[in-house]
Structure 1
Amino acid sequence: MFFFFFGLIFIYYNKFYFIEYLFFFLNSCSLIYVILIDWMVLMFISFIFLISSMIMLYSMEYMNLDLNKFRFLLLMNLFIMFMVLLIISPNLISILLGWDGLGMISFCLVVYYQNKKSFNSSLITVILNRMGDLFIIIVLIWMLNFGSWNFIFLNYYNNLNYLFYMSFFIMLASLTKSAQIPFSSWLPLAMAAPTPVSSLVHSSTLVTAGIYLMIRFNELFNNMIFMKILLIVSCLTMLMSGLNAIFEFDLKKIIAFSTLSQVSFMFMILCMGKIEMCFFYLLMHALFKSMMFLSSGILILNMNNNQDIRKMGGLINYLPFCSLIFMFTLMSLCGFPFFCSFYSKDLIFEYFLMLNLNFFFFFFFFFSFFLTFFYSIRVIYYLLMMNFSMFNYLMIIKFESLFLIMSMMIISLIMLFFGSFFMWIMFYKFDLILLEMKFKILSILILLFGLWFFFELNNFLYSMKYFMSFFYIFFLSSMWNLMFIKVNFFLNNFFYVSSLMYKIIEIGWIEYLFDKNLIFFFGNLMGFNQKIFLNSYKIYILLFFLWFLIILMYN
């Protein structure tokens, strides 16, 4: 509440604070920690604290019988801390601290259950996130040309060609963390983590870190060709994730593909140059996506940890409150009128209709909208409208716990009312859009068409199930063959090469030449005993570096 209140004040008075703290100054090199506080930072931190506190309350009951519950809560707190470090930093060194910390803690959380699936998924997650860290480090080195690591000053260097390379690597880093093509394979695999982790990672922290970095670096991307490339990549990712969600039967993976689709939607808004609209939808997405995972976690827990939607059905009769909340989140995902994401999605939809884009982007945008409606209706049909499929689960279904209900109630109330409230606050930052009636009701018509088309296509898919299973196995299940990035790929290529180099160089030639012949030669030359020198050569190397630093300081 504190951060949210001050965020409103900062919006009203249009203020921001830039705070620098100098740790030490050595040889014209200063180590400074920088904090940027504006309305975006305060709003985003308030939402992260709200969602994470409710997820912690949820985890107290959800992970109650787990033996390593304390370690789980500690990792979740570390995850939130690194995300806050990333948000408040306008300095690339401190951004790297939060960026790298998110990747490491996400590895620990995905591998939490310590089975074979968790190990494979966590390894792919950490390697693809490490690629994003590599791109940030390259930008960090490249910014030595500017004499400062604060990206807030970069607009003074627009006449330099250096910004071209910087923007390219920042875009690649954002694509790795936000799981866009070709780095999309880690996001569905990260579903091996516990459900509270999925709720935190997919709503407001890890996946949105790439979006937030692009929002902060938006000055770099003005009039750059990368925005057109990013628009194509985001369109293809929306299409791929929507098609995979239609044919998927794992509930958590369907929600993961919907996250991937919505993150690509945010990238499309960024490519249009509407930063405030993108941030508005980012906050709304954090609310309903966290609720979607929390409610699906209760459904999975009550179905004896079964995640297959074909084995569910009729759950509204057994878990009415949780099923109602889950249906509300899916309606909010679709942009149903007067839910929280309706205000942001409808605004973006109308703005898109006013742009001068070609038919390719126009078609992808509307088709991705249609796919979102389609897989949302499919999940509602399988979970709530079908007959109850697994009768042996009837004795397993438990009551909805008080802690679980309370944590969901708070976020759901904010989710229902915050969209219009934030729209009133931010209205002066948005353009006034006037459209004809036929364009205004186009989104509602697509929703109704998706509803009709689902029930028509459902019978057709059942009759064509052998052909569709062949199509799914050979094309869609591998996410357009992006799943080639598997553990075996790394084990058979990179890890094999690194182990070979370790055997040949590290414990091979270097040990033979340096530790035996070279040290023996220098030991005899300087009159030292060989055994003493072998035990203390590290100290001599350390003294050499200290001597080198003293020379640098006095020069």
Structure 2
Amino acid sequence: MNIMLLWGVVLFNFFILFFMMGFYFFVYDECWIFEFKLGSFVSVGVDYVVVVDWMSVLFMSLVLLISFCVFLYSVEYMGSDVNIVRFCFLVLLFVLSMGLVIFSSNLMGILIGWDGLGITSYVLVIYYNNVRSLNAGMITFLSNRLGDIGLLMSIVWMFGFGNWNYFVYVNVMNDTNLGLVGLFIMMGCMTKSAQIPFSAWLPAAMAAPTPVSALVHSSTLVTAGVYLLVRFSVYYSFDFFSWFLLGVGILTMMMSGYCSLWEMDMSSVVALSTLSQLGFMMMILGFGSWLLAYFHLLTHALFKSLLFLCVGYIIHGYSGEQDFRSVGGLINSPVVMSGMNISLLALMGFPFLTSFYSKDVIIEMMLGGGNGLLVVFFLMVGLGLTVLYSFRLGYFSIWGFCLYNSGVDVSSGFMMEFSIVVLVLFSVFYGFFLSWWLFNIPSVIIVSVYVKLIGLIFICFGLFMCVVVIINDLWWDFGEMLFGLLGGSMWFMVGLSGNSMCRVVDECYGVFEGGWMEVIGGWGLMSVLKFMTVVLESFWSNIFMVYLFSFLLWVVVVLVIF
């Protein structure tokens, strides 16, 4: 446990350093570029470029803050684990890989950090070494490898321009090459951020320990794709694919918000809410507002990691129970109850909490930006679904009555509560501080009263639906037979991008890992004999039909020849 505390203190000191550096870079509008020459390959310079500006430093400071809270949280959550040292260094490797992605402006450097994120997340997902963790790890790893193909293709395409520094050579590429590089980058970012049709891996990755989910699958790994798109949008816009990003973001937001209404697992509900917010960020990037997407990325990381830690606190207190129908009534735990209330209110965009300052500006920009009516309608429906599943999760997990485990004391320890308190403070105060920081020049968005009230109307409609339909159990009476299959299977994304990959892995495992001597030796010969036996039995059972078919085939051949 001492090693967890030690590295937690170290990460907190780095957080203070990076936070002050980010403030300095933003105020004085500075950017430091460090270029390390590593040689050349076929007249192409191989170098590593580090870009230190306010955007990269600020995001890295937030990663370090959440990592600090996760280390303190793990002191008691993972206290009985014998592999705590391995867990500590795996999380540190993940933070290092995240730093490589954040500070690199060279595609080769980004690829190193990108693969590091994939490998460390895979090892952390299979940390418990059971069948569920193995399947979830395979889905996670293979889905992210599909995105790595896109990043590799962008590297290959920029090889013809003599370097891989995208912020330098973006000015010498024509529209065709620019569009191809943007397409490959967008493909990689969509898989890393679990957009449709690569959405199945994020809920499956909840097999990892809760501290890992709070760090990896809520605030850093899944937002790496959005962050990379934001970095590329600074240098050139994704006008080629703006409507595609907009459509994918809307579909992901609607799918995850709808499917979260059918989940009874607390971790899966929070994972689907993360997926919904990622679709919201992609939709913002589709509008071309990269600064607002970056702003919401930072605010979302805070309250979503807080929500994961609170949910993990409840699961830990109830001895691994994740069904929120069997928990509730957490009056004896004011810290986790307050933290979960604040995180859920921030998720819903409650005024003067962290996400209010980003969501309010984004909604007003979309409503007053001359967008189509259909886009505005889907945005409002997504907002109502966010309120709906947030209120549902809060009602069943903390506000409602405990159904099975009456009188359970879920108090865990000081370290877990302290990490929750730290994130609560940042979830309350960080939003308006960041809004004053990023938008120091006031901007006025003028919309009509009716347009301004649309968001409030859909929020009230979401609360009404939650109270009347879900809490009174009318949802299951009227909608289970009609919509249950569609909601429980993530719009069939589980079968498309989840089970299919596991099936491929099982087949490849039998060939490549089972041993070539077994495949082509005795086991292979037995398989061939079994197949031939089935074929011969079918012929023997239908000997008369086989004779007639052969005679008919002979007649056709004779007629064709003559």
Q: 2: CA distance between counterparts of 1:32 and 1:202?
A: 31
Structure 2 partner of 1:540:
none
Deviation for aligned residue 1:501: 8.4
Deviation for aligned residue 1:434: 2.4
1:235 to 250, 260, 267: 250
Query: Is 1:482 the equivalent of 2:496?
Result: no
Q: Secondary structure at the match of 1:157?
A: coil
Deviation for aligned residue 1:154: 3.6
1:335 to 349, 352, 361: 349
**Aligned structure 1 segments of 4 or more residues deviating by more than 2 angstroms:** 23-31, 157-160, 219-225, 393-400, 428-432, 434-449, 462-474, 485-509
1:279 to 294, 302, 306: 294
Structure 1 partner of 2:141:
126
Q: 2: CA distance between counterparts of 1:215 and 1:175?
A: 13
Q: Secondary structure at the match of 1:254?
A: helix
Gaps of 5+ in 2: 1-15, 521-562
Q: 2: CA distance between counterparts of 1:239 and 1:160?
A: 32
Q: Secondary structure at the match of 1:340?
A: coil
Contact 2:179-2:240 within 8 A present in 1 as well: no
Contact 2:248-2:282 within 8 A present in 1 as well: no
Deviation for aligned residue 1:395: 6.2
Q: 1:501 to 1:123 in 2, by over 3 A?
A: closer
Q: 1:486 to 1:350 in 2, by over 3 A?
A: closer
Contact 1:109-1:193 within 8 A present in 2 as well: yes
Structure 2 partner of 1:322:
336
Query: Is 1:202 the equivalent of 2:214?
Result: no
Structure 1 partner of 2:325:
310
Name the amino acid aligned to 1:41.
Answer: S
Q: Report matched runs for 1:110-189 at 5 Å.
A: 110-189=125-204
Q: 1:471 to 1:76 in 2, by over 3 A?
A: farther
Deviation for aligned residue 1:505: 9.9
Q: 1:290 to 1:502 in 2, by over 3 A?
A: closer
Structure 2 partner of 1:345:
359
Query: Is 1:81 the equivalent of 2:96?
Result: yes
Deviation for aligned residue 1:467: 5.1
Q: State which drifts further: 65-74 or 364-373.
A: 65-74
Q: 2: CA distance between counterparts of 1:493 and 1:123?
A: 10
Contact 1:191-1:198 within 8 A present in 2 as well: yes
Structure 1 partner of 2:390:
376
Deviation for aligned residue 1:194: 0.4
Name the amino acid aligned to 2:243.
Answer: K
Structure 2 partner of 1:470:
481
Q: Secondary structure at the match of 2:381?
A: helix
Deviation for aligned residue 1:414: 1.5
Q: 1: CA distance between counterparts of 2:218 and 2:513?
A: 41
Structure 2 partner of 1:101:
116
Structure 2 partner of 1:443:
455
Structure 2 partner of 1:34:
49
Contact 1:203-1:287 within 8 A present in 2 as well: no
- Superposition TM-score, scaled by structure 1 size: 0.86
Deviation for aligned residue 1:223: 6.0
Structure 1 partner of 2:73:
58
1:402 to 402, 406, 414: 414
Deviation for aligned residue 1:170: 0.9
1:453 to 446, 460, 465: 465
Deviation for aligned residue 1:437: 3.6
Contact 1:124-1:485 within 8 A present in 2 as well: no
Q: 1: CA distance between counterparts of 2:212 and 2:478?
A: 36
Query: Is 1:267 the equivalent of 2:278?
Result: no
| Alpha-carbon displacement from aligned partner over 1:224-260 (angstroms, at most 9, x marks no partner) | 3311011111101100000011111100000000000
| Alpha-carbon displacement from aligned partner over 1:391-438 (angstroms, at most 9, x marks no partner) | xx3465242411111111112111111111111111147743123344
Deviation for aligned residue 1:489: 2.8
Structure 2 partner of 1:538:
none
Q: 2: CA distance between counterparts of 1:494 and 1:143?
A: 32
| Alpha-carbon displacement from aligned partner over 1:455-498 (angstroms, at most 9, x marks no partner) | 122367x3462553334542111111111147763464466368
Name the amino acid aligned to 2:23.
Answer: L
2:370 to 352, 356, 371: 356
Name the amino acid aligned to 2:251.
Answer: L
Gaps of 5+ in 1: 510-555
Q: 1:507 to 1:169 in 2, by over 3 A?
A: farther
Structure 2 partner of 1:537:
none
Contact 2:264-2:323 within 8 A present in 1 as well: yes
Name the amino acid aligned to 2:418.
Answer: M
> Root-mean-square deviation (CA), in Å?
2.4
Name the amino acid aligned to 2:284.
Answer: I
Q: 1: CA distance between counterparts of 2:515 and 2:401?
A: 63
Structure 2 partner of 1:539:
none
Name the amino acid aligned to 1:427.
Answer: F
Q: 1:449 to 1:100 in 2, by over 3 A?
A: same
Q: Secondary structure at the match of 2:489?
A: coil
- Superposition TM-score, scaled by structure 2 size: 0.85
Q: 2: CA distance between counterparts of 1:254 and 1:464?
A: 17
